[in-house]
Protein backbone atom coordinates (compact mmCIF):
# COMPACT_ATOMS: atom_id res chain seq x y z
CA UNK A 1 0.00 0.00 0.00
CA UNK A 2 0.99 3.59 -0.57
CA UNK A 3 0.41 6.55 1.70
CA UNK A 4 -0.98 9.44 -0.37
CA UNK A 5 -0.74 12.60 1.71
CA UNK A 6 -1.20 16.33 1.40
CA UNK A 7 0.01 18.57 4.25
CA UNK A 8 -0.88 22.24 4.75
CA UNK A 9 0.40 24.86 7.17
CA UNK A 10 -2.51 26.31 9.16
CA UNK A 11 -3.05 29.92 10.09
CA UNK A 12 -6.61 29.57 11.41
CA UNK A 13 -7.17 26.20 13.13
CA UNK A 14 -10.66 27.17 14.31
CA UNK A 15 -11.86 27.86 10.74
CA UNK A 16 -10.56 24.47 9.60
CA UNK A 17 -12.24 22.71 12.55
CA UNK A 18 -15.54 24.41 11.62
CA UNK A 19 -15.16 23.29 8.00
CA UNK A 20 -14.53 19.71 9.17
CA UNK A 21 -17.63 19.94 11.39
CA UNK A 22 -19.72 20.96 8.36
CA UNK A 23 -18.41 17.85 6.61
CA UNK A 24 -19.53 15.66 9.56
CA UNK A 25 -15.99 14.61 10.43
CA UNK A 26 -15.71 11.84 12.98
CA UNK A 27 -13.26 13.15 15.61
CA UNK A 28 -11.06 11.30 18.13
CA UNK A 29 -9.46 12.76 21.27
CA UNK A 30 -6.02 14.36 20.81
CA UNK A 31 -2.97 12.19 21.34
CA UNK A 32 0.72 12.98 21.79
CA UNK A 33 3.23 11.44 19.39
CA UNK A 34 7.01 11.20 19.68
CA UNK A 35 8.79 10.23 16.46
CA UNK A 36 12.46 9.21 16.59
CA UNK A 37 14.13 9.26 13.16
CA UNK A 38 17.28 7.30 12.36
CA UNK A 39 19.99 7.50 9.69
CA UNK A 40 21.07 4.26 8.00
CA UNK A 41 24.68 3.19 8.62
CA UNK A 42 25.54 2.57 4.95
CA UNK A 43 23.16 4.65 2.82
CA UNK A 44 22.07 8.25 3.01
CA UNK A 45 18.30 8.41 3.54
CA UNK A 46 18.40 12.09 2.55
CA UNK A 47 19.65 11.02 -0.90
CA UNK A 48 17.41 7.95 -1.25
CA UNK A 49 14.40 9.88 0.14
CA UNK A 50 13.61 7.22 2.73
CA UNK A 51 12.87 7.38 6.44
CA UNK A 52 13.10 5.00 9.38
CA UNK A 53 11.03 6.02 12.37
CA UNK A 54 10.11 4.75 15.81
CA UNK A 55 6.82 6.27 16.98
CA UNK A 56 5.33 6.36 20.44
CA UNK A 57 1.65 7.24 20.31
CA UNK A 58 0.05 7.12 23.73
CA UNK A 59 0.70 3.60 25.01
CA UNK A 60 1.64 2.15 21.59
CA UNK A 61 4.99 1.94 19.79
CA UNK A 62 5.58 1.13 16.10
CA UNK A 63 8.53 1.04 13.73
CA UNK A 64 8.01 2.44 10.23
CA UNK A 65 9.99 2.51 7.00
CA UNK A 66 8.91 5.06 4.41
CA UNK A 67 10.10 4.61 0.84
CA UNK A 68 11.02 7.30 -1.69
CA UNK A 69 8.32 9.76 -2.75
CA UNK A 70 6.51 9.16 -6.02
CA UNK A 71 5.30 12.06 -8.15
CA UNK A 72 5.45 15.78 -7.48
CA UNK A 73 1.96 16.77 -6.34
CA UNK A 74 1.58 14.86 -3.09
CA UNK A 75 3.78 13.09 -0.60
CA UNK A 76 3.07 9.60 -1.94
CA UNK A 77 5.27 6.78 -0.77
CA UNK A 78 5.27 3.12 0.14
CA UNK A 79 5.05 2.63 3.89
CA UNK A 80 5.65 -0.42 6.04
CA UNK A 81 4.61 -0.01 9.67
CA UNK A 82 4.91 -2.73 12.29
CA UNK A 83 3.41 -2.36 15.76
CA UNK A 84 5.54 -3.45 18.69
CA UNK A 85 2.50 -4.32 20.83
CA UNK A 86 3.57 -7.37 22.85
CA UNK A 87 6.72 -5.73 24.14
CA UNK A 88 4.96 -2.49 25.09
CA UNK A 89 2.54 -4.21 27.47
CA UNK A 90 5.40 -5.58 29.57
CA UNK A 91 7.75 -2.59 29.62
CA UNK A 92 5.63 0.49 28.90
CA UNK A 93 5.75 2.68 25.80
CA UNK A 94 8.58 4.99 26.89
CA UNK A 95 10.85 2.08 27.88
CA UNK A 96 10.01 0.24 24.65
CA UNK A 97 10.84 3.29 22.55
CA UNK A 98 14.18 3.68 24.37
CA UNK A 99 15.04 -0.02 24.03
CA UNK A 100 14.33 -0.09 20.29
CA UNK A 101 16.33 3.11 19.85
CA UNK A 102 19.24 1.48 21.67
CA UNK A 103 18.94 -1.64 19.47
CA UNK A 104 19.01 0.42 16.26
CA UNK A 105 22.02 2.42 17.49
CA UNK A 106 23.83 -0.83 18.40
CA UNK A 107 23.28 -1.96 14.79
CA UNK A 108 24.91 1.22 13.47
CA UNK A 109 21.87 3.42 12.91
CA UNK A 110 22.27 6.99 14.14
CA UNK A 111 19.52 8.96 15.83
CA UNK A 112 18.82 12.06 13.71
CA UNK A 113 16.00 13.96 15.38
CA UNK A 114 12.92 13.66 17.55
CA UNK A 115 9.66 15.17 16.26
CA UNK A 116 7.10 15.90 18.99
CA UNK A 117 3.51 16.68 18.17
CA UNK A 118 -0.04 16.67 19.44
CA UNK A 119 -2.33 15.07 16.85
CA UNK A 120 -6.09 15.58 16.60
CA UNK A 121 -7.25 12.85 14.25
CA UNK A 122 -10.55 12.65 12.41
CA UNK A 123 -12.09 10.97 9.36
CA UNK A 124 -14.16 12.47 6.58
CA UNK A 125 -16.20 10.56 3.99
CA UNK A 126 -15.50 12.30 0.71
CA UNK A 127 -16.22 11.24 -2.87
CA UNK A 128 -16.63 7.60 -1.90
CA UNK A 129 -13.40 7.48 0.14
CA UNK A 130 -12.62 7.68 3.83
CA UNK A 131 -9.95 10.32 4.27
CA UNK A 132 -7.88 10.49 7.44
CA UNK A 133 -7.53 14.07 8.60
CA UNK A 134 -5.03 15.15 11.25
CA UNK A 135 -4.52 18.56 12.78
CA UNK A 136 -0.98 18.51 14.15
CA UNK A 137 0.63 20.97 16.53
CA UNK A 138 4.34 20.29 15.96
CA UNK A 139 6.86 21.51 18.53
CA UNK A 140 9.07 24.10 16.83
CA UNK A 141 6.92 24.37 13.68
CA UNK A 142 3.31 25.22 14.56
CA UNK A 143 -0.01 23.90 13.24
CA UNK A 144 -0.56 21.75 10.14
CA UNK A 145 -3.36 19.76 8.59
CA UNK A 146 -2.66 16.41 6.92
CA UNK A 147 -5.05 14.64 4.57
CA UNK A 148 -4.21 10.99 3.89
CA UNK A 149 -5.50 7.96 2.04
CA UNK A 150 -3.88 4.52 1.83
CA UNK A 151 -4.10 3.31 -1.78
CA UNK A 152 -2.82 0.63 -4.11
CA UNK A 153 -0.52 1.77 -6.93
CA UNK A 154 -3.44 1.82 -9.37
CA UNK A 155 -5.58 3.93 -7.01
CA UNK A 156 -2.99 6.71 -6.45
CA UNK A 157 -4.37 9.16 -9.09
CA UNK A 158 -7.94 8.84 -7.74
CA UNK A 159 -6.73 9.19 -4.14
CA UNK A 160 -4.77 12.34 -5.03
CA UNK A 161 -7.78 13.85 -6.80
CA UNK A 162 -9.97 13.18 -3.73
CA UNK A 163 -7.43 14.80 -1.40
CA UNK A 164 -7.08 17.86 -3.65
CA UNK A 165 -10.86 18.21 -3.88
CA UNK A 166 -11.30 17.99 -0.09
CA UNK A 167 -8.47 20.51 0.43
CA UNK A 168 -10.25 22.95 -1.90
CA UNK A 169 -13.54 22.40 -0.05
CA UNK A 170 -11.89 23.17 3.29
CA UNK A 171 -10.23 26.25 1.79
CA UNK A 172 -6.60 25.20 2.16
CA UNK A 173 -3.76 26.84 0.23
CA UNK A 174 -0.62 25.31 -1.23
CA UNK A 175 0.51 21.97 0.21
CA UNK A 176 3.86 21.53 1.92
CA UNK A 177 5.74 18.52 0.47
CA UNK A 178 8.45 18.39 3.10
CA UNK A 179 8.11 16.14 6.12
CA UNK A 180 8.13 17.60 9.62
CA UNK A 181 11.64 16.18 10.00
CA UNK A 182 12.83 17.99 6.85
CA UNK A 183 11.27 21.27 8.02
CA UNK A 184 12.85 20.99 11.48
CA UNK A 185 16.26 20.14 10.05
CA UNK A 186 16.04 23.10 7.64
CA UNK A 187 15.10 25.45 10.51
CA UNK A 188 17.91 24.42 12.87
CA UNK A 189 20.90 26.70 13.22
CA UNK A 190 24.07 25.61 11.39
CA UNK A 191 26.56 23.56 13.39
Question: So what's the pLDDT on residue 84?
Answer: 84
Domain carrying residue 62: 2-187
Beta bridge partners of 42: none
Q: pLDDT-derived band of residue 58, with 50, 70 and 90 as boundaries?
A: confident
- Is the per-residue pLDDT at 172 higher than 80? yes
Q: Treating both helix axes as pointing N-terminal to C-terminal, what angle do 156-170 and 13-22 enclose, rounded to 10 degrees?
A: 110
Pick the more confident residue, 126 or 93.
126
Task: Give, as one character, the DSSP assignment of residue 41.
Answer: S
Q: pLDDT-derived band of residue 110, with 50, 70 and 90 as boundaries?
A: very high
Per-residue model confidence as pLDDT tens digits over 137-167: 999 999 999 999 999 999 999 999 999 999 9
Nearest alpha carbon to residue 100 among 65, 57, 61, 66:
61
Contact (CB, 8 A) for 149 and 129: yes
Question: So what's the pLDDT on residue 158?
Answer: 94
- Is the per-residue pLDDT at 21 higher than 70? yes
Q: pLDDT-derived band of residue 10, with 50, 70 and 90 as boundaries?
A: very high
- Residue 99 sits in a domain whose CATH number is 2.40.320.10
Q: pLDDT-derived band of residue 88, with 50, 70 and 90 as boundaries?
A: low
CA atoms of 49 and 44, how far apart (whole Å) = 8
- Lowest-confidence segment of 16-20, 73-77, 116-120 by average pLDDT: 73-77
What's the alpha-carbon Rg for the chain, to the nearest Å? 17
What are the phi and psi torsion angles at 11 (to 5°)? -100, -40
Pick the more confident residue, 71 or 30.
30
| 4-24 burial: b if 16+ Cβ within 10 Å, else e | bbbbbebeeeeebbebbeebe
Question: So what's the pLDDT on residue 97?
Answer: 87
CA atoms of 114 and 155, how far apart (whole Å) = 32
Tally of domains in the chain: 1
pTM of the model: 0.91
* In the chain, % of residues over pLDDT 90: 81
CA atoms of 89 and 108, how far apart (whole Å) = 27
Amino acid sequence: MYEVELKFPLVNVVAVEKALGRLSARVWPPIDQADLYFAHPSRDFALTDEALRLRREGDAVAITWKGPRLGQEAKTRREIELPLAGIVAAAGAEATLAAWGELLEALGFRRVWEVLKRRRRSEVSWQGSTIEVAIDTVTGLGDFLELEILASAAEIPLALASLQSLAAEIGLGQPERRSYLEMLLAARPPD
